[in-house]
Amino acid sequence: MRKLLVIGIGTGNPEHVTIQAIRALNTVDVVFALDKGREKADLVALRRAICDRYIEGRPYRFVEAQDPERDRNPADYGATVDSWHAARAVLYERMIETELSEDGCGAILVWGDPSLYDSTLRIIARIIARGRLPFEYQVIPGISSVQALAASHRIALNRIGAPIHITTGRQIADGLPAGADTTVVMLDGHPRFDHLDPDLTIYWGAYLGTRDEIILSGRLGDVADEIGRLRVAARARHGWIMDTYLLRSREAPAT
């Protein structure tokens, strides 16, 4: 039976790849990747570089396909993402069926960790639910941008006895949850901070773990504009940006 490995590869530093992931890569016949266009060609190039670096003495093929388009500013976000996932499921199913032998092992290399704000596992579940193409799969965890952010800023994610809230930029458009102590925000394509408490402390990072990493921290009211300027300059330089930030209240919670 065909086998598929979903491998977390960290946030861009090849040294984020774990020993477990390296061992898994060395069983792979085909690596599948979705091309997101010229602006994000670096993301595919890094996946190729990781394979070239860690797969030793084993022939393998790198198979790419064009990622389905989706509306980035939809009227109905949920429905748009659902349709995009459905299109991806059909595409991956076709790639696995046509490019992987019946006893072959394929891999999808996931930025960060497959469990955190990534669609791959949901898409695989869709393929399995369709019932057309039997295969087994395994998940190999990776270093997420949340871990990389904390490491780069040399901070613990949580304060003693306090919770962490991990969410997206879309979900804090109207402010942070009531009583939030530490909030990690991911997938914020257009961050704005003017509706948030300026006395929050922010720990921000872009291109985390890579040679292009940028980090900044401080009182939100003091550094928000500088973060905006850094984002604009970085996007112009690279054509894309991935960033994550942590917001923390200034008062430690009662324990």
Q: What percentage of the chain has pLDDT greater than the value 90?
A: 77
What residue ranges define each of the domains in the chain, with the CATH number in brackets?
2-140 (3.40.1010.10), 145-248 (3.30.950.10)
Q: What percentage of the chain has pLDDT greater than the value 70?
A: 96
Contact in structure between 185 and 169 (CB atoms under 8 Å): yes
pLDDT value at residue 72: 72
pLDDT value at residue 144: 96
pLDDT value at residue 250: 82
* Mean pLDDT confidence for 67-87: 84
Reported as a single tens digit per residue, the pLDDT across 160-209 is 999 999 999 999 989 998 889 999 999 998 898 999 999 999 999 999 99
Classify 106 as helix, strand or coil: strand
CB atoms within 10 A of CB 180: 19
Torsion over CA: 95, 99, 103, 104 (sign): negative
Place of tokens 């939809």: 74
Is a pLDDT exceeding 60 seen at residue 252? no
Tokens of 87: 């299109």
Is a pLDDT exceeding 60 seen at residue 151? yes
pLDDT value at residue 235: 93
Contact in structure between 247 and 198 (CB atoms under 8 Å): no
Tokens of 186: 């991911």
pLDDT value at residue 35: 83
Predicted TM-score (pTM) of the model is 0.90
CA–CA gap between residue 33 and residue 43 (Å, rounded): 10
CA–CA gap between residue 122 and residue 50 (Å, rounded): 24
- Sheet architecture: strand order including 2-8: 61-66, 30-35, 105-110, 2-8, 135-140
Reported as a single tens digit per residue, the pLDDT across 122-145 is 999 999 999 999 999 999 999 999
